[in-house]
Amino acid sequence: MELDALLRSLEATGVATAIRENDLLFPWVESFHVLAITLVVGSIAIVDLRLMGLASRDRAIARVASEVLPCTWAAFGVAALSGALLFSSNALTYAHNAYFLAKLSFLVLAALNMSIFHLFVGHDSESRGAKIAGGVSLALWICVVAFGRWTGFTLHATPLAS
């Protein structure tokens, strides 16, 4: 398969080899990945719960979003970069892991949900659409965490990954 060849050459790059073969590099990158994910999910949950009308109701949605989302995006940048590095170290194994693929799918769905919300609802509104978008987002991010955690238990190429 052509994709497999591509993934193999990704694994063969210097950075990927270093992360795979150095005993300390993988856990360090992983630590930043986990830290970033807790900040992404925790901060998105603040906005989602506000959209759902379940928290911070004394503050406007636009205000909560403008205060919190810069933190979310910064943390997401770190999570995506560290995640890409971890992926590269064992690209073939991850790409064939059903839990990892599910995690990526939930990430894509979370992005779609956000885009649809911005295009059709707009983040000022206290509407039913906003409530639904918030609930869907929260559920999708919980799935991202769950399937990410499960990935570590179902990979056998990196025995230390659990």
Partner 1 sequence: MRTRALDSFCAWLEQTPLSQAIQGAGWIVPTVQTIHILAIAAVMASALMIALRLDARFRRVIGWALPVLLATGVIMIIGEPVRSLENPVFQLKMALLASAIVVFLLPFRNRVVATLSLCLWVGIVFAGRWIAYY
User: Does 60 help bind partner 1 (rule: CB under 8 A)?
Assistant: no
Query: Is the separation of the CB atoms in 89 and 16 below 8 Å?
Result: yes
Q: CA-to-CA distance for 154 and 102, rounded, in angstroms? A: 13
Query: Is the separation of the CB atoms in 41 and 144 below 8 Å?
Result: yes
Which is nearer to partner 1, 117 or 141 (by Cβ)? 141
Kindly tell me which residue out of 52, 67, 69, 131 binds partner 1, with binding defined by CB under 8 A.
Answer: 67
Which is nearer to partner 1, 8 or 57 (by Cβ)? 57
Query: Is the separation of the CB atoms in 47 and 69 below 8 Å?
Result: yes
Region 10-49 residues binding partner 1, contact defined as CB under 8 A: 23, 27, 30-31, 34-35, 37-43, 45-46
Cα-Cα-Cα-Cα dihedral sign, residues 131, 133, 134, 136? positive
Enumerate binding residues for partner 1 (CB under 8 A). 23, 27, 30-31, 34-35, 37-43, 45-46, 56, 67-68, 71, 142, 145-146, 149-150, 152-153, 160-162
